[in-house]
Structure 1
Amino acid sequence: MAKAVLQEQQRLLLQQERQLASVLQGSLAGFEGSDAHATTLRQVLDTLDDLFLLVVVGEFNAGKSASINALLRSEVLAEGVIPTTDQVTVLRYGESQQQRQTEKGLLEISYPADFLHDISIVDTPGVNAVLLEHQRLTEEFVPRSDLILFVTSVDRPFTQSERVFLEHIRTWGKKIIIILNKIDLLRDDDALQQVIAFIREKCKQLLGFEPDIFPVSAYQAEQVHSAVGNQALKLWESSQFGVLEEYLFKTLDATERVRLKLLNPLGVMNRILGETRNAIEERAKLLAEDARTVQTIDEQLQLYHTDMQEDFKHRLGEIENIILEMRTRGDRFFDDTMRLRRVLDLVRGEKIKQEFESEVLSDSAARIDLAVQELIDWMVEQEHRFWQNVMEYLDRRRQVSLQREDRMLGSVGKQFDFNRRTLLQSVSRTVTIVIQGYDQQAEALQLSMDMRNAVAQAALTSAGGLGLGALIVAVMGTLAADVTGIIAGLGLVLLGYGIIPLKRRQAKHTFDDKMTELQTKLSSAMQEQFQKELNHSVQRVQDAIAPYTRFVRAEQQKTTTAQESLAQLNKDLLDLKTQIEAL
């Protein structure tokens, strides 16, 4: 079909087809087989400028070559009971019969048959031939065809290999004409109708279409040329080949050939579009599972953060209770000590200081240190356990993912598979490295130092080599000096009995203020340091999975865009098909 023959409407349709093919080719980027699809698209579009392409397929010994020879009225192609067509053969018009081997591995034969001015015929190796390379060439040539003549025979109608091959052809959206050859082997017309009904039912049941079936005897049609008179007429009528020729050369007129040729690329594009949409759907499913993986880890991080905060409040409360007990003992100490009956002891400041440290401070330092160490060990253990949980979850997820990918190898794109698997393995490896290098004693020591320094800074004092409990008690120990100072300020206590209750109230008030200040600073400092460590722990997990998270989000966006693009492309293909079928 030369461009000069195309009407303006057909030119516009052809232009639309090329535009849609370009859009489809752009959508294939990153998917398995995109290069092969691009090649197929280019070849199919190139055939729009060629003659109508009639491709003959079928099993060997079904009569493909014989049927073509009958159409040519001459034995141009070799025939036999063993595979004789060992390569794809293209028949074109020529002033004389000649043949040549092309660089593409095709055998081109020119022959002076009038219908070859408008139609090129392709003879293919048998689909069940032992030479798989020939079958591959046949299957590669099918997408370029404008009409398929599928030759089968009455002695072996609709075999398993024929069904599979027909199914393959149908996925390209090709119009298929079935030639039922060797009808001369049947006893009568009833037997023939049974075979035709069988083929039609199987096509409808297994392949979903009702084919045009032309029963012929290629052998009888060929015998016509060596027969004379009534014998020739009887052979021709018995062969029923005239009905097939009527369809190919009259019913299939120029307008119909144009329509089929324009529909041909749409069938190919629809096949490629369907495969691509399936691949994108598989990719979307994988990404949805990946997104759930990321979401699950994120949800676990939030729960971890919340649970740690709640548990920390209780553990901090235990430390605050120790300070509250000191506060209670301090009040009791001042009530019992600062009395007139102990006036002699009161003027001995060192004795009062020792009693204060013994009765008020008591074992608070050891108890605070123990409580703080338990809190730190708990924090370290919880972080370590959380990292282990993340690792175990990722490992299970990775194993499931690998099993799924193995089952659908090649369906979503090698590069996508590689990037996704590499990132998932990288996250799992990062988490494993963290766990293997997680020294709980070192982490606890560092956290203890950080906590002590935070409390020291809040208390505006130097931590030195003191433990946290000792640091707190050291701050509290200044109260003993304060008490001594208050006692020393009594002077001549006998000058007025009212001075002792006044000083007691003053000491208790000072003690309560310092205890409140200490408790507030302690709680604030420890809470701040805890929050800092907790946020750091959460951030480390988020940093570990960040590359995977970014990949999933980016690929989901790409996939959504591709799905929208292909949905629009599918609509455009259907609209264009409607226009072409209306020709």
Structure 2
Amino acid sequence: MRGSDGGVTNGGRLAALSRLAIEAGSPELARVVDALAERLREGRFYVACVGQFKRGKSTLVNALVGESVLPTGVVPITAAVTVVRHGERLAARVRFGERDWEECDPGSLATYVSEEQNPGNEKGVVAVEVFVPSPLLESGMCLVDTPGIGSISAANTAATREFVPHVDAALVVVGADPPISGDELALVQEIAREVADLIFVLNKADKLSDAEREQAIRFTERVLSERLGRRASPILQVSAAERLARAGPERDWNLLSQRLDSLARQSGADLVRAAEERGTAALVERLLGDLDEQEAALLRPLEESQARMEVLRRAVAQAEQSLEELGHRFTAVQERLYRPFTDERDRFFNQALPLAQRELQAALRAEPTAGPALRQRAIDHAIEVTKRWLDRWRQEQEPRVEALYRGAVERFVELLHGFQQTLASVSGVQGLPGPSVEAAFQTKSRFHYTDMLIVAPSSAPSRLLDLLRPGSQRVRAIERDTTAFLERLFEVNTARIKNDFQDRVVESRRRLEQETRDRLREL
């Protein structure tokens, strides 16, 4: 396509840019170019909802579209960027890596975007879109729910920062504790360098007193004016939760709706044009960078490349040998950690088992009848008593076990940092990145009880003997059998708890070692 001046239009430039990216061997860049071209053709512009975690951003987006389409909760929820756009009916789709879009149930969004079900975006979700028949979005406005920055997951902050180049306007959500953080300020400054339309909202106004809201707004406006070099727009006070529930006062909700309507009607076309110019320039620069790298690789003398490869091979071999030696130190750390927990398990077993057996015996004696059903009830009592004692012990030990586990991982990371400092003097591996502590801490407990029913004293011969025995003998036999069964339950399940702790430590070590080996091989 050509404009009236004979030049190629931006639509034509994007099509040409996509072809060039394919020819240059950059299919992912071509996909990004095509996605930009598609949203420009449809006149869509992105209003990103940004801020610290737990500001209520997802709830605010839900309230703006008038429907609870995004998952919310009391812990940090959003783990992947989610675009909410207009559609004739409620629908959703998700994309993983280089795969095409896949339709998904809007009710199952938490599977893909929540920190609990997709921690650190381990499923590799690269895009999520939700279609909502909301009048606010008819103009082409898309509300973008971003992961909260500053949470325990560094991946969430990274996902939000990676989306910044696509932002056309921003809905900045602040609070009172703190009113605005250093991370939020840095993000707002980064966005403000590219876009002019920033709307500031103090959410959860219903949770604050008048004095607290006034103090938070005064502080935030002063800090924003200092950092941005211009007066920030008035901070609107709302409660998205109250709005969804259709309860409480309006506060500044109507003003917020008017600001967004005005943005869509008066600035929407300008935002799309600005996105076109900004996106095209960035993608051209990215393609030129890829081409420069390819040219440099082609021009680099073959002898230099071969020599560098030889240096890298020797360096990696030396590093892997050092990593093997490091493994012995890891093993020593594990053994030191296992010992106190094994001792604690033995102490609990020896002290709690007699008490649990007496509790079981008391329960059996309280049974109203010594009939044929007594044996099964005795087995059920044994399982209940065991679970009760083990639940209590696990709750008591959980803080200590978690501290031991974190101590082990932190010691592993400390040893790996020392290993990397040793490698810093080796030519070729100076740039080896550090281990991912967050990934190591994601090893979850897999413990579950076993009722050991396969060895429960409920075989057909046992039940037959119960029928032949006099009442008192039957009770004594059942008490003897189920007491032994309870001991077996204690022994097996306490061992499983101990082994679960050890497995978590081993898995975290394996992850750290594997990550380091993979990075060495990438060199």
TM over 0.5: no
Structure with the greater alpha carbon radius of gyration: 1
Q: Shorter-chain TM-score category?
A: 0.3 to 0.5
TM-score (normalised: structure 1): 0.39
- With a CA cutoff of 8 Å and minimum separation of 6, indicate the structure with the bigger relative contact order: 1
Structure having the larger proportion of residues in helix = 1
Length-normalised TM-score, structure 2: 0.43
